[in-house]
Chains A and B, each alone.
Chain A
Amino acid sequence: MESKNWNSEFPEVPEHVHQTVLSTLAELEHRKVKRVKRMKKSKIVILIAAAIAVLGTTVCAAEIFKWNNRAAEVFVADEEQRQKLVTEQIATGEYQTVSDAGLTIQAIQTVQDNSCFYALFEITADDKSLQITPGHDMGLLIDYPGGENPFGYVGYGFVDEREQAVSNSRYYEIYGTKTNPQSTGNEDLNMKLQFTSLNAPGGKATAGEVVLTGNWEFLLNLHATEPVCYELNKEYQIDGCAVTVKSVELTPISVKLTCDEAGARQLEKLEGVNIDQADSLVSLYINGIKYQDGTIVEEEGYQELWVSCENGDYTKAARLTSVIDTDKVSALLVGDANDEIALP
Chain B
Amino acid sequence: MNKKQFTTEVLEAEKSLYHIAKSILRNDEDCADAMQNAVLHAFEKLHTLQNEMYFKTWLTRILINECHHIIRSRKEQVPYEDYCEAEASVQEEEYSEVFDAVMKLEDNYRIPFVLFYVEGFSIKEICRILKLSQSTVKTRLYRGRKLLKEKLVGAYGYGE
- List chain A positions with a Cβ less than 8 A from chain B: 1-2, 4, 6-7, 9-14, 16-18, 20-21, 24-25, 27-29, 31, 33-36, 139, 141-142, 149, 152-153, 155, 157, 177, 179, 196, 202-207, 273, 277-280, 302-306
Query: Which residue from chain A places its CB closest to the CB of B64 in the assembled complex?
Result: A205
Q: Are A10 and B118 in contact (CB under 8 A)?
A: yes
Q: Are A205 and B129 in contact (CB under 8 A)?
A: yes
Q: Are A7 and B35 in contact (CB under 8 A)?
A: no
Q: Are A306 and B32 in contact (CB under 8 A)?
A: no
Given contacts A141-B50, A203-B69, contact A1 B145 (CB under 8 A): yes
Query: Bound state CA distance, A179 and B11, in angstroms?
Result: 31
Q: Are B46 and A33 in contact (CB under 8 A)?
A: yes
- B55 CB within 8 Å of chain A: no
15 pairs, A vs B, C-beta closer than 8 Å: A1-B145, A4-B98, A4-B117, A10-B114, A12-B15, A18-B14, A21-B14, A28-B43, A33-B6, A35-B47, A142-B50, A155-B133, A204-B130, A205-B62, A278-B141
Query: Bound state CA distance, A203 and B62, in angstroms?
Result: 9
A residues within 8 A CB of B1?
Answer: 33
Query: Bound state CA distance, A16 and B18, in angstroms?
Result: 12
Chain B residues 98 to 154 lying within 8 A of chain A, measured CB to CB, are: 98-99, 102, 114, 116-120, 123-124, 127-131, 133-135, 137-139, 141-142, 145, 149
Q: Are B118 and A36 in contact (CB under 8 A)?
A: no
Q: Are B131 and A11 in contact (CB under 8 A)?
A: no
Closest chain-A Cβ to B20's Cβ sits at a distance in Å of 10
A residues within 8 A CB of B60?
Answer: 205
B residues within 8 A CB of A179?
Answer: 124
A residues within 8 A CB of B44?
Answer: 31, 34
B residues within 8 A CB of A35?
Answer: 47
* Cβ contact of A17, chosen from B2, B35, B65, cutoff 8 A: B35
**Which 4 pairs, one residue from A and one from B, show the smallest C-beta to C-beta distance?**
A203-B68, A203-B65, A205-B64, A206-B65
Q: Are B46 and A153 in contact (CB under 8 A)?
A: no
Closest chain-B Cβ to A321's Cβ sits at a distance in Å of 13
* Cβ contact of A205, chosen from B65, B114, B134, B139, cutoff 8 A: B65
Q: Is the interface of B mostly helix, strand, loop or mixed?
A: helix
A residues within 8 A CB of B119?
Answer: 7
Q: Are A206 and B61 in contact (CB under 8 A)?
A: yes
Q: Are B135 and A24 in contact (CB under 8 A)?
A: no
A residues within 8 A CB of B3?
Answer: 28-29, 33
Given contacts A6-B117, A10-B22, contact A153 B65 (CB under 8 A): no
Q: Are B22 and A25 in contact (CB under 8 A)?
A: no
A residues within 8 A CB of B23?
Answer: 10
Q: Are B47 and A203 in contact (CB under 8 A)?
A: no
Q: Are A17 and B18 in contact (CB under 8 A)?
A: yes
B residues within 8 A CB of A304?
Answer: 134-135, 138
Q: Are A278 and B10 in contact (CB under 8 A)?
A: no
Q: Are B134 and A11 in contact (CB under 8 A)?
A: no
B 29-63 binary contact with A (CB < 8 Å = 1; else 0): 00111011001100110111011000000001110
Given contacts A20-B36, A273-B142, A306-B134, contact A11 B14 (CB under 8 A): no
Indicate the member of A152, A196, A205, A306 with the most B CB atoms within 10 Å: A205
Q: Are A205 and B18 in contact (CB under 8 A)?
A: no
Query: Which residue from chain A places its CB closest to the CB of B125 in the assembled complex?
Result: A153
Q: Are B99 and A9 in contact (CB under 8 A)?
A: yes
Given contacts A20-B32, A153-B127, contact A280 B65 (CB under 8 A): no
Closest chain-A Cβ to B44's Cβ sits at a distance in Å of 7
Q: Are A202 and B65 in contact (CB under 8 A)?
A: yes
B residues within 8 A CB of A21?
Answer: 10-11, 14, 32, 35-36, 39
Given contacts A18-B14, A203-B64, contact A11 B95 (CB under 8 A): yes
Closest chain-A Cβ to B110's Cβ sits at a distance in Å of 12
Closest chain-A Cβ to B64's Cβ sits at a distance in Å of 4
Query: Bound state CA distance, A20 and B38, in angstroms?
Result: 12
B residues within 8 A CB of A13?
Answer: 14-15, 18
Query: Which residue from chain B places its CB closest to the CB of A279 in the assembled complex?
Result: B142
